[in-house]
């Protein structure tokens, strides 16, 4: 059974870079596509971007200039880096599998990131 687990620092200072990793178990990262999604406190869901198993990516235009993603097949992980963060980037960050019809059918439990000095 596929499982996803997000990890990374829970606190990031303004203007610094937020780095998160999603570790996949129960499936090979190379045979699926993956999404990052976030949820600010008390608010709705915002799609961040996706990584195809081919290595190509698509990002939300609102974040594209600050966003970098990567895949480490040796560790069965994929990662997100968001630069120049502000308080508006405070959120629970989720990784998810992008399944058939691009549905997010398997989610990690989420990790809370707070941007604060």
Partner 1 sequence: DIQMTQSPSSLSASVGDRVTITCRASQSIGTYLHWYQQKPGRAPKLLIYTASSLQSGVPSRFSGSGSGTDFTLTIYSLQPEDFATYYCHQTYNIPDTFGQGTKLEIK
Judged by CB under 8 A, the residue of 60, 76, 77, 83 near partner 1 is: 60
Judged by CB under 8 A, the residue of 31, 61, 74, 116 near partner 1 is: 61
Measured from the CB of residue 19, what is the shortest distance to partner 1 in angstroms?
Answer: 20
Name which of 113, 104, 112, 115 is nearest 4 in CA terms: 104
Measured from the CB of residue 107, what is the shortest distance to partner 1 in angstroms?
Answer: 4
- Residue 82 interacts with partner 1 (CB under 8 A): yes or no: no
Instruction: Number of residues interacting with partner 1: please give it, by CB under 8 A.
Output: 23
The CB-side HSE value for 77 (13 A sphere, CA atoms) comes to 14
Name which of 12, 14, 8 is nearest 36 in CA terms: 8
Cα-based angle 92, 96, 99 (whole degrees, multiple of 5): 155
- Residue 45 interacts with partner 1 (CB under 8 A): yes or no: yes
Measured from the CB of residue 8, what is the shortest distance to partner 1 in angstroms?
Answer: 16
Q: Collapsing DSSP states into helix, strand and coil, what is residue 100?
A: helix
Which residue, 62 or 84, is less far from partner 1 as judged by CB? 62
Residue 40 CB contacts under 8 Å (≥ 6 apart), including other chains = 46, 88, 90, 91
Q: Which residues make up the interface to partner 1 (CB under 8 A)?
A: 35, 44-47, 50, 58-62, 94, 99-105, 107-110
């Amino acid at each position: 059974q596929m499982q996803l687990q997000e990890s990374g620092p829970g606190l990031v200072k303004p203007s610094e870079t937020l780095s998160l990793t999603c570790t996949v178990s129960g499936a090979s990262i190379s045979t699926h596509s993956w999404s990052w999604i976030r949820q600010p406190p008390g608010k709705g869901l915002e799609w961040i971007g996706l990584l195809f198993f081919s290595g190509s990516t698509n990002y939300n235009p609102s974040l594209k200039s600050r966003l970098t993603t990567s895949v480490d097949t040796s560790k069965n992980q994929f990662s997100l880096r968001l630069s120049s963060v502000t308080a508006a980037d405070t959120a629970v960050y989720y990784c998810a599998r992008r399944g058939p019809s691009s549905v997010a059918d398997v989610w990690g439990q989420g990790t809370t990131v707070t941007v604060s000095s």
